[in-house]
Amino acid sequence: MPAIEILGFEKTYMVGFWRKRPKCALSPLHLTVRDGEIFGFLGPNGAGKTTTLKLLMGLVFPTAGSARLLGQEWTDPRVKAQIGFLPEQPYFYDHLTAHELLNYYAQLSGVPGKERSRRVEAMLQRVGLPEVKGVQLRKFSKGMLQRVGIAQAILHDPKLVFFDEPMSGLDPMGRREVRDLMEQLKHEGKTVFFSTHILSDAEALCDRVAIIHKGELRGVGAVEDLTSSVQGKVEVIWQGTQVPTSMKALGAECHVTGDTVRAIISESQQDAAIDALRRERLRLISIVPVRTSLEAYFVEKLQRAETTAGRMA
């Protein structure tokens, strides 16, 4: 059973004051997220990521389409007990302390009274805020609020977690901790769906990603599949300071850095390159296929979308 099935979600807002006109925020979106995977929802600002998440959370209503979360209708309140949500740039009741806030959310999520206090304490520990649990949230920094946001999203032990830009406002250490936490959630068998425009995070974490731009889905697949669609080239690195003529003859693009040389050659010339280095008695360090980065794939998808839009205009 998929964790998330989005069945043609579509959202159009009416904009303008006197003469209202429709503005499409999300074209019909069909997407399936498997149980237990970390799924990245990528796109530039204004692409429709947050709209999709708000639709899934029931905060806005779709113009058309529906969705199923953990096999149930997405509007069913019972399913909400099994999901966690961190909104983008979260803001919480600042008259409460971190402990009171988490306790309040635990109450709303139906965590039993006896277990509530233990869960809240454990969660504050997990996100690194045990020392400030008695401080009102109005005194918290942006990064600390983000941690509270993460804690409230996973407090009730949900099976499915949605994070909207979870790394936003965090320093490098904080980002690392969030990445580790997402991996822990995956190991605990939970499904993580997160939106981001930080591609390195997505590449490091995600099993699969989807790319959305201007409300339209531009691509979806496993990170390995998207990044291995390469031009049939390999990267050869050897020890040395000079490029042998035989390597130049293979048409290699070579770069010398210190005492290593890096060359990109066609995959079909891989054996010839190894022979050439052996003949020159040079020490081969590595030979690996060149992979497209997720960023390159992302940029290419967006550029293609822009070109298509330009042609249609």
Partner 1 sequence: MNARIGHIASNTFREAVRDRVLYNLIAFAVLLSGAAILVGQISIDIEKLVVINLGLTAVSLFGIVIAIFIGIGLVSKEIEKRTLYTVLSRPVRRWEFIVGKFFGLAGTLVVNTFFMAIGVFAALFYVAHKFVRADALILIALYFIVLEFLIICSLALLFSSFSSPLLSAVFAFSLFVIGSFAEDLRGFAGMAHGLTRWLATGAAYLVPNFSAFNVISSIAHEQPVAAQLIWHNTLYALFYAAMALSGAVLIFEHRNLK
First to last CA, the chain: 41
Number of other residues whose CB lies within 10 A of the CB of residue 202: 24
Which residue number, 56 or 178, has a Cβ lying nearer to partner 1?
56
Q: Reduce the DSSP state of residue 148 to 3 states and report it.
A: helix
Amino acid at 106: A
Which residue number, 18 or 91, has a Cβ lying nearer to partner 1?
91
**Beta carbon of residue 95, minimum distance to partner 1 (angstroms, whole number):** 4
Beta-bridge partner residues of 40 = 194, 209
Which residue number, 108 or 256, has a Cβ lying nearer to partner 1?
108
Tally of CA atoms within 13 A in the half-sphere of 125 that contains its CB: 6
**Beta carbon of residue 230, minimum distance to partner 1 (angstroms, whole number):** 40
**Beta carbon of residue 26, minimum distance to partner 1 (angstroms, whole number):** 13
Asked if 146 contacts 69 with a C-beta cutoff of 8 angstroms, the reply is no
Which residue number, 57 or 287, has a Cβ lying nearer to partner 1?
57
Which residue number, 23 or 30, has a Cβ lying nearer to partner 1?
23
Q: Produce one character per residue of 41-76: b if its CB has 16 or more CB atoms within 10 Å, e if not.
A: bbbeeebbbbbbbbbbbeebebbebebbbbeeebee
For residue 171, give both structure tokens.
Answer: 């320093």
**Beta carbon of residue 2, minimum distance to partner 1 (angstroms, whole number):** 20
**Beta carbon of residue 148, minimum distance to partner 1 (angstroms, whole number):** 10
Cα 234 from Cα 236, distance rounded (Å): 6
**Beta carbon of residue 156, minimum distance to partner 1 (angstroms, whole number):** 8
Q: 69-77, long-range: CB within 8 Å, 24+ apart, which pairs?
A: 69/3, 69/4, 69/160, 70/1, 70/3, 70/159, 70/160, 71/1
Q: Provide the binding-site residues for partner 1, judged by CB under 8 A.
A: 13, 54, 57-61, 77-78, 80-81, 83, 85, 87, 89-93, 95-96, 104-105, 107-110, 149, 152, 156
**Beta carbon of residue 54, minimum distance to partner 1 (angstroms, whole number):** 7
Which residue number, 74 or 238, has a Cβ lying nearer to partner 1?
74
Which residue number, 101 or 261, has a Cβ lying nearer to partner 1?
101
